[in-house]
Amino acid sequence: MILEKKKAFSEFAANKGLRSTRQRDIILDIFLSTHQHVSVEELYLKVKASHPGIGHATVYRTLKLFAEAGLAREILLHDGQTRYEHVLAGEHHDHLVCTGCNAIIEFEDETIEKLQKEIALRHGFLIRSHKLEIYGLCACCRS
C-alpha cells in the first residue's frame, strides 16, 4: 500500500513535470508512516527530527502536492490548523461520528453514492469528492 502510494505520487509528479527531490521523498515517507490526521506542524516536527535541514515551507508545499495527487486530503477542524488524512483506495469516506465517545464508525452505501451522482448530474456539477458525517450517539453511549 505504501509502495502503491509512492508510485502514485511518482506518476503524478511525472505527469505534472515535477522534479523528484530528496525532500519530497522524505516527506512522503514520513507522511505515509503516520496514522490518521496529521497537522502540518506535527508532520514538520517529525520531518525536522530526522532531517533538520528541511524547512517549513517545503512541508506545506509538499503536503499540498500530496492532496493534489490524491494521496492525502485536507481536513479543517475548528482549531485553525489544517490537517491531512490519508486517502485510502476505494474508500467512501462516510462516517457515523459518536458525539458521546468520539467513536467513528465507517460505512459504505452504494445507493447513497448513486443518488449523489444523480443530484450532481441534475445540477451540472462535477463531483471530485464528498464527505458524509452522521452525528449522534453510538449504541454504547445512548444506553
> Which residues of the shown chain bind its own copies in the complex (CB under 8 A)?
74, 76-78, 96, 98-99, 105, 107, 109, 111-112, 115-116, 119-120, 123-139, 142
Residue where the block lists cell 505515509 = 32
85 DSSP β-pair partners: 73
Task: State the minimum distance, in angstroms, from the CB of residue 69 to its own copies.
Answer: 16
- Of 29, 45, 50, 53, the residue at the interface with DNA (CB under 7 A) is 53
22 binds, among DNA, its own copies, none (CB under 5 to 8 A by kind): DNA
Nearer to DNA, 75 or 103 (CB): 75
Locate 128 and state its grid cell.
471530485
Does 19 participate in binding DNA (rule CB under 7 A)?
yes
CA distance 51 to 94: 36
41 binds, among DNA, its own copies, none (CB under 5 to 8 A by kind): DNA
Does 50 participate in binding DNA (rule CB under 7 A)?
no
Task: State the minimum distance, in angstroms, from the CB of residue 60 to its own copies.
Answer: 13
CA distance 134 to 115: 17
Binding part of the chain for DNA, among 29-37, 49-57, 90-98, 126-134 by CB under 7 A, reads 49-57
Helix (H) or strand (E) holding 120: helix 110-122
Per-residue CA distances from 51 to 36, 67, 69, 76, 110 (Å): 22, 22, 24, 27, 44
Rg (CA), the chain: 18
Does 124 participate in binding DNA (rule CB under 7 A)?
no
